[in-house]
């Protein structure tokens, strides 16, 4: 064979890297595992000698003359060439402008160029002349050749050659054993017994680790992967570095252990695998080890690829003292070293993680490299940068020194630079926590930096009429705009004065029937102007209104009535109310027109309940949410703070039994807008809905995204031209809907409101921009006087980018569930004073994530509650209803994108799984009345 000096197999780590390179290159182009070293050489440099020095370096290192062959071979081989030609590229940019920009472009192109691994050398050099005495060296090579440790060794040899050449003397070189010695040593280790030992060890490390460790928010931006790596760095001050070193010594820990401990803890703040035996969380990351076996003499001076990346599985035991836990980490890292020569591809095979995915996505590299020797040359080496492309989305490089440096190398397709800045701040935070509080328990260590803490604890306080009731606010509006249109239904108008007069008349009637402050009045009314009059009248006498939809199944109406035990039920002759024992007032009968306006006593206090609205409950019992005037005034006032436009003509789509009606009714009536009530079931006739919007010149509306999406699809855009403000709420708003909105109605603004009934309609809002930022459509920021906290299971705040459960504190947090103290206690919990100035927290069951700019994303539920066409349904409630039937033993209900699916286990041991549509036929086997009832429960889960 010609030009072959040596042939030998690859090390396991090289094999793994070769495998990855080939897999990624076919998928995404080249550039994986390309390492790039660049620096400026300042001062007199003899370029001819410099090039010669490099040629001699390549000639003296077999590794630098190595090519990799695999095609047609049983196993890949590395072939060392006798001689190679050094790729040398000279660019003259002297006098050219924008050198810095050009250089960045050059560097990134150079990194993505990749290498032909079968052609030695798998490296190239470029010298760019920047000024007469300054040039930039760019040295790129494939990582298969050598590791970061080898780099200063090669550099030192090159400089020795240069020095020898320029002084016309033989170079002063260190004797280095060739890489093939390491390969030979490895092969000696490859006995069956050793292999079995390795496998046993790694299996025991990984056993039980069945879930991947999550990282902060990950979005696919479609950015080309090969260009996607960036880095950020942070230097720890020399004083703190010194103290860290001292503390580490004091507890016999290494700096490496401290940093890896901080990284593991930080990962656990982003979630993690909850299977630890101590009840703690488990996280896994990769640790890069030097891989240089101490048994091999002279190994520290060898050039080649030794490093390996190994999984570190860490259990976070919340009750353990930091130092004790760190000591365990150190023991663990030591134990890994005994088995460090195992290929990651093998380890992966022994793990319980789903095949196909990576074991871990973040790695820690402690760069304990030998320092280059100072050779006293004429030129100096400045601005050194060494970029190691990894195929891990996140790599923490730790460079020890007088001032410890932390570098995060990240995939920009996965992380924004703000998230990376925050991650670095958190590593530093945890390192200083180890310093300041070494014996604190892990769960006591800080999760947020001081700046984050300040931001978290300070809700935006805005003044509002805390001492007024909601009806007093409407009455003030009556004074301001008596002849403005207040309520419109089917073309018929009530002005503010008329609304007030009618409400006073009805209030007089209510008073004469003995209704007074604190009494509950149920409203079971069809959609009409009177519906609003009744609400207003009940509030005026200090009562609490309980809206019930006449379309509810009878059993649900009876349940709600019995639960609230109203002093009076206001209804109409046309409504089929199930028979009850509660007194009834038919509001369509002629009234006695008693005068109420003369009543000078103030009725109703801010702390009294304004309404009770029912939502679905998981144990078959709907929950009545009790909302006070203060809650409601806050919620309504916050709209004037958030929305730039006052209400013009608001189209009320939702049923008043649904809490989103509260938004429209009170926002309109407290600000002088006109409330246009849509006729019953208008959502079933989208043409009519569009005509209504056109006819009534609607400016504002609020509805579930599904309905708005259907409207946009079916309506003639011209009919929607008067809309200025469209609010979607109650369900996640898709990107598609937002895009559709702005393409059809660029003149109207789309808002996304989020909030549970328990926090009084809404707690955050987002003005959706026409240019959507990446990720799901945000639910925005907390409204005034409201805090939205993202907490983990231990009620600890999670960092930005981590998923946590949404908890709400503030003036909107309602008074709990009627007659259900246990459920109230578990959902409305005392608020730790470290988190909030408020005393109560409402646990929403929603999952969310904060973006670095402070906007929230909604990411689903932590329980089995679903939304179907805006209706909040706890699947357990349906299951419970089904189980209540004699011939059903067991029932399972799941939500599917097309609706609900139900599995029933009947007395006949038949299992059936049906979707929503076929539920009807499946239930036909049941008595008709029962089937209707069940279906009605499914359809109308409540507000």
Q: State the CB neighbour count (10 A cutoff) for residue 387.
A: 18
- The region of 191-199, 425-433, 723-731, 879-887 touching ligand AMP under the rule CB under 6 A is 723-731
Q: State the CB neighbour count (10 A cutoff) for residue 276.
A: 20
Q: Give the closest residue to 808 by CA, choosing from 789, 781, 785, 830.
A: 789
The entry of ligand AMP, Mg ion, none that residue 229 binds, CB within 5 to 8 Å by partner kind: none
Q: State the CB neighbour count (10 A cutoff) for residue 802.
A: 22
- Do residues 217 and 798 lie in contact, with contact meaning Cβ atoms separated by under 8 Å? no
CB of 438 to ligand AMP, least distance (A): 41
Site string for ligand AMP, 268-297 (x = CB under 6 A): ------------------------------
Q: Kindly identify the residues of this chain, within the stretch 828-847, that bind ligand AMP according to CB under 6 A.
A: 844, 846
CB of 577 to ligand AMP, least distance (A): 24
**CB closer to Mg ion out of 260 and 814:** 814
- The region of 66-74, 416-424, 724-732, 813-821 touching ligand AMP under the rule CB under 6 A is 724-732
Q: Does 241 engage in binding with ligand AMP (CB under 6 A)?
A: no
Structure tokens at 367: 């760069």
**CB closer to ligand AMP out of 410 and 754:** 754
Q: Does 780 engage in binding with ligand AMP (CB under 6 A)?
A: no
- The region of 392-400, 582-590, 725-733, 878-886 touching ligand AMP under the rule CB under 6 A is 725-733
Q: Does 732 engage in binding with ligand AMP (CB under 6 A)?
A: yes
Q: Does 756 engage in binding with ligand AMP (CB under 6 A)?
A: yes
Q: Does 659 engage in binding with ligand AMP (CB under 6 A)?
A: yes
Distance CA 11, CA 6 (A): 15
**CB closer to ligand AMP out of 32 and 806:** 806
| Conformation bin of residue 40: beta by default, left when phi > 0, alpha when psi is -120 to 50 | beta
The entry of ligand AMP, Mg ion, none that residue 31 binds, CB within 5 to 8 Å by partner kind: none
The entry of Mg ion, ligand AMP, none that residue 291 binds, CB within 5 to 8 Å by partner kind: none
Helices 470-480 + 660-671 axis angle, to 10: 40
The entry of ligand AMP, Mg ion, none that residue 636 binds, CB within 5 to 8 Å by partner kind: none
Residues in contact with Mg ion, counted by CB under 5 A, come to a total of 2
Among 39, 63, 779, 783, the residue binding ligand AMP under the rule CB under 6 A is 779
Q: Kindly identify the residues of this chain, within the stretch 582-621, that bind ligand AMP according to CB under 6 A.
A: 615
CB of 211 to ligand AMP, least distance (A): 24
The entry of Mg ion, ligand AMP, none that residue 752 binds, CB within 5 to 8 Å by partner kind: ligand AMP
Compute the half-sphere exposure of residue 906: CA atoms within 13 Å on the CB side of its CA: 13
Q: Does 757 engage in binding with ligand AMP (CB under 6 A)?
A: yes
- The region of 644-652, 707-715, 747-755, 918-926 touching ligand AMP under the rule CB under 6 A is 747-755
Structure tokens at 685: 């006739």
The entry of ligand AMP, Mg ion, none that residue 872 binds, CB within 5 to 8 Å by partner kind: ligand AMP
Distance CA 300, CA 153 (A): 10
The entry of Mg ion, ligand AMP, none that residue 610 binds, CB within 5 to 8 Å by partner kind: none
Distance CA 211, CA 283 (A): 9
The entry of Mg ion, ligand AMP, none that residue 805 binds, CB within 5 to 8 Å by partner kind: none
Angle (CA) 103-108-110 rounded to 5° is 90
**CB closer to ligand AMP out of 318 and 755:** 755
CB of 659 to ligand AMP, least distance (A): 5
**CB closer to ligand AMP out of 229 and 754:** 754
CB of 824 to Mg ion, least distance (A): 19
Taking 3-state DSSP, the helix, strand and coil percentages for the chain, each rounded to the nearest 5, stand at 35, 25, 40
Phi, psi angle pair for 902, to nearest 5°: -130, 135
Q: Where are the beta strands (DSSP E) in 43-160?
A: 66-69, 77-81, 88-92, 123-131, 134-142
**CB closer to Mg ion out of 660 and 836:** 660
**CB closer to ligand AMP out of 348 and 787:** 787
Q: Does 754 engage in binding with ligand AMP (CB under 6 A)?
A: yes
Site string for Mg ion, 652-681 (x = CB under 5 A): -------xx---------------------
Distance CA 893, CA 544 (A): 35
The entry of ligand AMP, Mg ion, none that residue 498 binds, CB within 5 to 8 Å by partner kind: none
CB of 658 to ligand AMP, least distance (A): 7
Q: Give the closest residue to 68 by CA, choosing from 183, 163, 145, 174.
A: 145
Residue-wise burial string across 253-263, b where 16 or more C-beta atoms lie within 10 A, e elsewhere: bbbbbbbbbbb
Inter-CA distances, 207 with 172, 349, 890, Å: 51, 12, 35
Angle (CA) 543-548-554 rounded to 5° is 135
Among 427, 729, 789, 919, the residue binding ligand AMP under the rule CB under 6 A is 729
DSSP secondary structure string for all residues of 548-563: E-TTS-HHHHHHHHHH
Q: State the CB neighbour count (10 A cutoff) for residue 24.
A: 17
Distance CA 565, CA 522 (A): 9
**CB closer to Mg ion out of 12 and 812:** 812
- Do residues 130 and 50 lie in contact, with contact meaning Cβ atoms separated by under 8 Å? no
**CB closer to ligand AMP out of 20 and 864:** 864
Distance CA 256, CA 271 (A): 23
**CB closer to ligand AMP out of 529 and 623:** 623
Among 858, 873, 881, 891, the residue binding ligand AMP under the rule CB under 6 A is 858
Q: Does 472 engage in binding with Mg ion (CB under 5 A)?
A: no
Residue whose C-beta lies closest to ligand AMP = 757
Structure tokens at 23: 């897999």
Residues paired with 790 in a beta bridge: 806
Residue-wise burial string across 396-411, b where 16 or more C-beta atoms lie within 10 A, e elsewhere: bbbbbeeebbbbbbbb
Longest Cα–Cα distance of the chain, Å, equals: 120
- Do residues 919 and 658 lie in contact, with contact meaning Cβ atoms separated by under 8 Å? no
Distance CA 479, CA 464 (A): 19
The entry of ligand AMP, Mg ion, none that residue 390 binds, CB within 5 to 8 Å by partner kind: none
Q: Does 872 engage in binding with ligand AMP (CB under 6 A)?
A: yes
Among 20, 867, 883, 905, the residue binding ligand AMP under the rule CB under 6 A is 867
Structure tokens at 127: 């010298």
- State whether residue 602 is helix, strand or coil: coil
- The region of 105-113, 281-289, 682-690, 754-762 touching ligand AMP under the rule CB under 6 A is 754-762
Structure tokens at 170: 């033989």
- State whether residue 832 is helix, strand or coil: coil
Q: Does 803 engage in binding with ligand AMP (CB under 6 A)?
A: no
Residues in contact with ligand AMP, counted by CB under 6 A, come to a total of 19
- The region of 413-421, 631-639, 752-760, 893-901 touching ligand AMP under the rule CB under 6 A is 752-760
Distance CA 548, CA 493 (A): 24
Distance CA 687, CA 714 (A): 7
Residue whose C-beta lies closest to Mg ion = 659
Inter-CA distances, 145 with 115, 122, 632, 797, Å: 12, 8, 68, 45
Q: Does 753 engage in binding with Mg ion (CB under 5 A)?
A: no
**CB closer to ligand AMP out of 872 and 885:** 872
Distance CA 387, CA 231 (A): 9
**CB closer to Mg ion out of 475 and 659:** 659
**CB closer to ligand AMP out of 45 and 868:** 868
Binding positions for ligand AMP, rule: CB under 6 A: 615, 659, 729-732, 752-754, 756-757, 779, 844, 846, 858, 861, 867, 872, 943
Binding positions for Mg ion, rule: CB under 5 A: 659-660
């Amino acid at each position: 064979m010609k030009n072959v000096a040596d042939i030998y197999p690859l090390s396991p780590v090289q094999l793994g890297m070769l495998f990855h390179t080939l897999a990624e290159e076919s998928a995404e182009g080249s550039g994986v595992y390309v390492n790039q070293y660049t620096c400026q050489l300042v001062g007199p440099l003899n370029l001819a000698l410099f090039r010669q020095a490099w040629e001699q370096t390549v000639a003296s290192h077999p590794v630098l003359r190595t090519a990799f062959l695999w095609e047609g071979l049983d196993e890949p081989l590395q072939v060392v060439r006798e001689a190679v030609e050094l790729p040398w590229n000279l660019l003259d940019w002297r006098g050219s402008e924008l050198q810095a920009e050009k250089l960045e472009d050059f560097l990134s192109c150079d990194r993505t160029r990749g290498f032909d691994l079968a052609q030695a050398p798998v490296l190239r050099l470029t010298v760019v002349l920047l000024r007469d005495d300054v040039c930039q060296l760019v040295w790129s090579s494939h990582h298969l050749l050598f590791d970061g440790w080898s780099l200063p060794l090669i550099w030192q040899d090159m400089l020795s050659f240069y020095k020898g050449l320029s002084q016309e003397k033989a170079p002063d070189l260190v004797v280095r054993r060739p890489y093939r010695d390491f390969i030979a040593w490895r092969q000696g280790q490859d006995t069956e017994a050793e292999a079995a030992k390795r496998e046993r060890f790694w299996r025991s490390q990984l056993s039980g680790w069945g879930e991947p460790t999550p990282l902060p928010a990950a979005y696919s931006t479609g950015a080309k992967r090969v260009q996607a790596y960036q880095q950020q760095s942070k230097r720890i001050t020399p004083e703190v570095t010194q103290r860290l070193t001292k503390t580490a010594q004091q507890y016999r820990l290494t700096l490496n252990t401290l940093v890896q401990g901080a990284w593991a803890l930080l990962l656990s703040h982003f979630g993690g695998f909850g299977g630890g035996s101590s009840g703690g969380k488990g996280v896994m990351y990769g640790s890069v080890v030097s891989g240089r076996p101490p048994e091999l003499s002279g190994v520290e001076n060898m050039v080649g690829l030794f490093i390996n990346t190994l999984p570190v599985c860490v259990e976070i035991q919340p009750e353990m003292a930091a130092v004790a836990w760190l000591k365990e980490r150190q023991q663990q890292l030591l134990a890994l070293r005994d088995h460090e020569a195992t290929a990651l591809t093998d380890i992966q095979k022994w793990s319980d993680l789903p095949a196909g995915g990576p074991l871990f996505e973040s790695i820690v590299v402690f760069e304990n490299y030998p320092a280059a020797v100072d050779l006293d040359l004429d030129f100096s080496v400045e601005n050194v940068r060494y970029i190691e492309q990894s195929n891990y989305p996140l790599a923490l490089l730790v460079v020890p020194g007088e001032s410890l440096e932390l570098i995060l190398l990240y995939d920009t397709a996965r992380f924004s630079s703000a998230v990376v800045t925050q991650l670095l701040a958190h590593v530093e935070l945890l390192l200083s926590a180890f310093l300041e509080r070494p014996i604190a328990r892990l769960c006591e260590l800080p999760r947020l930096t001081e700046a984050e803490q300040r931001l978290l604890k300070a809700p935006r306080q805005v003044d509002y009429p805390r001492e007024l009731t909601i009806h007093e606010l409407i009455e003030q509006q009556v004074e301001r705009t008596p002849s403005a249109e207040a309520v419109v239904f089917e073309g018929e108008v009530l002005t503010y004065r008329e609304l007030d007069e009618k409400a006073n008349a009805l209030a007089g009637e209510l008073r004469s029937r003995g209704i007074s402050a604190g009494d509950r009045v149920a409203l079971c009314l069809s959609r009409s102007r009177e519906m609003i009059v009744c609400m207003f009248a009940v509030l005026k006498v200090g009562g609490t209104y309980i809206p019930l939809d006449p379309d509810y199944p009878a059993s649900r109406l009876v349940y709600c009535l019995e639960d609230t035990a109203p002093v009076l039920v206001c209804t109409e002759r046309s409504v089929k109310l199930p028979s009850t024992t509660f007194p009834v007032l038919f509001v369509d009968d002629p009234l006695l027109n008693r005068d109420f306006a003369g009543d000078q006593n103030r009725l109703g206090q801010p702390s009294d309940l304004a309404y009770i609205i029912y939502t679905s409950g998981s144990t078959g019992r709907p929950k009545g949410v009790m909302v006070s005037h203060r809650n409601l005034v806050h919620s309504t006032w916050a709209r004037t703070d958030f929305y730039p436009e006052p209400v013009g003509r608001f189209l009320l789509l939702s049923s008043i039994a649904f809490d989103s009606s509260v938004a429209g009714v009170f926002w309109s009536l407290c600000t002088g807008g006109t409330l246009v009530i849509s006729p019953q079931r208008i959502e079933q006739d989208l043409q009519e809905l569009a005509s209504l919007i056109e006819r009534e010149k609607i400016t504002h509306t609020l509805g579930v995204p599904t309905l708005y999406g259907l409207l946009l699809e079916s309506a003639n855009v011209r009919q929607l031209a008067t809309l200025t403000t469209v609010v979607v709420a109650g369900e996640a708003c898709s990107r598609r809907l937002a895009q559709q909105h702005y393409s059809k109605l660029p003149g109207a603004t789309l808002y996304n409101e989020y909030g549970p009934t328990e926090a009084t309609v809404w707690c955050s809002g987002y003005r959706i921009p026409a240019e959507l930022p990446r990720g799901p459509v945000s639910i925005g920021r907390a409204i005034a006087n409201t805090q939205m906290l993202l907490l983990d299971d231990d009620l600890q705040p999670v960092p930005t980018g981590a998923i946590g459960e949404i908890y709400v504190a503030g003036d909107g947090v309602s008074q709990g569930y009627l007659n259900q103290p246990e459920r109230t206690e578990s959902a409305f919990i005392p608020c730790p004073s470290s988190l909030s100035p408020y005393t109560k927290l409402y646990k929403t069951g929603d999952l969310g994530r904060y973006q670095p700019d402070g906007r929230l994303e909604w990411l689903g539920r932590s329980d089995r509650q679903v939304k179907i066409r805006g209706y909040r349904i706890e699947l357990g409630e349906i299951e419970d209803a089904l189980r209540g039937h004699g011939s059903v033993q067991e029932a399972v209900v799941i939500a599917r994108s097309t609706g609900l699916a139900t599995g029933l286990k009947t007395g006949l041991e038949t299992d059936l799984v049906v979707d929503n549509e076929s539920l009807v036929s499946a239930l036909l086997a049941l008595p008709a009345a029962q089937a209707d009832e069940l279906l009605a429960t499914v359809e109308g889960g409540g507000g």
